[in-house]
Amino acid sequence: MRKATMILAAGLCLGSIALAGCGTDAKEAFQQDAAVPVETTAAITGSFTSGPVYTGTVQPRQQVPISPKLAGKIASMMVDVGSHVQKGQTLFTLDDKDLKNAVVKAQAAVAAAQSGINGAQAEQQANVVKAQGGAVSAKSGIIQAQGAITQAQNNVDQASHGVQVAGLGLQTSKQALTDAQTNLKRTKTLFNAGAAPQSSLDAAQTAFVNAQAGYNKAQADYKSAQDALAKAKQGLATAQNALQTATSGYQTARQGVSVAQSTAGIDAARSAAEQAQVGLKVAQDTLDDATVTSPIDGIVGKKNAEVGQMASPQAPVLVVANLDTVKVLVYVPADAINGMKVGNQVQVKTVAFTYTTTGTITNISPLDDSGKGYPVEVTVPNKNLQLKAGMVVEVSALDPNAKQGILIPTSAIVRDQGKSYVFVAQNGTAKRKEIQVGAQSGSQTMVTAGINSGDLVISDKAAQLSDNAKITVEQQQ
């Protein structure tokens, strides 16, 4: 009977916890059996705001539509909506079979162009050797021609001397002939007068004949010497012409060496090689473009295509946004804009759920936007990604002289016997902590001691909890 009474009493206690009909021990016994679903809010360091509240919309610091540089079929997709990506990380790839073949073809063109350079260099070297050989041969011809001129000049000198000697002999024989004629005439006169014997006449006659023969021979010798001189002069002229021809040939050979030494052919081959290298780089870059990477750190917010679908530069496949820091744009009227300063701290509070943080004014436009007010940009750190693009938030100024403290929802506070407590979520349990309340403003309370910034304060069902009670977090703000 006593046992049944205890069971009935426990049942009555469980059914009337809200009416405080049971003691604390009964509440703790109940909570040891079932986890309480709760909502949590992170405690933040801040101060109460003052002045007007402006409404703005959360925008990513960066939002980039990702399109490939070339059209193609998507071969692989490495990310999905919500994926965290880093700058340079591969997002998706396109079918690159044809692009790889183009690279191989361009590599072959580069190899052929390099071979062309080697061939042009070998040809130039062969031409230089050949031209230099021709120049040496032409130089040898000049030396030979110069030797022939020397020999021909010697022949002319010798022939000239022979003409001089023959001329002297001719003069001598002519004088001898004249003397023989005179003597013969005188002897004939004497012989006819009976003054000279026959022998004297015969002797004079013989002397004349001999003198005539000597003169004739001298004339022949002189003519022969003149012919030899003319021949020697002709030989000299021929040798001089040969020298001119050899000299002209040498000049031509030297020009041939200069032409052979020209690098025009090699330069043309190198230019072709450079063009081939450019073609290879273009082909390689095009192949690289088939792998699409993220230009920023961020989160994939949209995915517009799947593997197997065609992609083009005109249609974004993905959208990547950086929400680690977000921007909020508000419009401030003329009567309040001069109170805004770049660098001032403001409070940013979400409208859809309970979340408050601090931002910094980073830009103030001096131009009114079509009567809406002056655009003011607020930058807000968002490491925990609580703020999403498109969320509506309320922005209000923070008094720089206002007292700082830990801000928590007023609904999280439990008062017991003149003291204030909150429950902090830790490892699936609710830890009760005594706090010192500084001030209260609407739904927010400033705590001066007892908890730290960042603690996850349980913001609802605090009256149903006890220290170390089991909990499940339904929503974290």
Q: What is the pLDDT of residues 390-423, one digit of tens each?
A: 999 999 887 666 677 888 888 888 888 888 898 9
Q: Clarify whether residues 143 and 243 are in a common domain.
A: yes
Q: Clarify whether residues 41 and 29 are in a common domain.
A: no
On whether residue 219 sits in a domain, the answer given is yes
On whether residue 279 sits in a domain, the answer given is no
On whether residue 288 sits in a domain, the answer given is no
Q: Clarify whether residues 222 and 330 are in a common domain.
A: no
Q: What is the pLDDT of residues 272-318, one digit of tens each?
A: 999 999 999 999 999 999 999 999 999 999 999 999 999 999 999 99
Q: Clarify whether residues 119 and 254 are in a common domain.
A: yes
Q: Which CATH number goes with the domain that contains 417?
A: 2.40.30.170
On whether residue 295 sits in a domain, the answer given is no
Give how many domains the chain has, as a whole number: 3
**Distance between CA atoms of 293 and 298, rounded to whole angstroms?**
12
* Domain containing residue 352: 35-67+316-476
Q: Clarify whether residues 451 and 345 are in a common domain.
A: yes
Q: Clarify whether residues 416 and 447 are in a common domain.
A: yes
Q: Clarify whether residues 39 and 163 are in a common domain.
A: no
Per-residue pLDDT tens listing for the chain (477 residues): 333 333 333 333 334 333 344 444 444 444 455 888 988 888 887 777 667 889 999 999 999 999 999 999 999 999 999 999 999 999 999 999 999 999 999 999 999 989 999 998 898 889 889 888 988 988 898 999 899 999 989 999 998 998 899 899 889 989 998 999 999 899 999 999 888 899 988 998 999 999 899 999 989 998 998 998 899 899 889 989 998 998 998 889 888 888 888 888 889 988 999 999 999 999 999 999 999 999 999 999 999 999 999 999 999 999 999 999 999 999 999 999 998 899 988 888 888 887 878 899 999 999 999 999 999 999 999 988 889 999 999 998 876 666 778 888 888 888 888 888 989 988 889 889 888 888 777 677 888 888 888 888 888 887 888 888 898 887 666
Q: Clarify whether residues 222 and 144 are in a common domain.
A: yes
Q: Clarify whether residues 105 and 221 are in a common domain.
A: yes
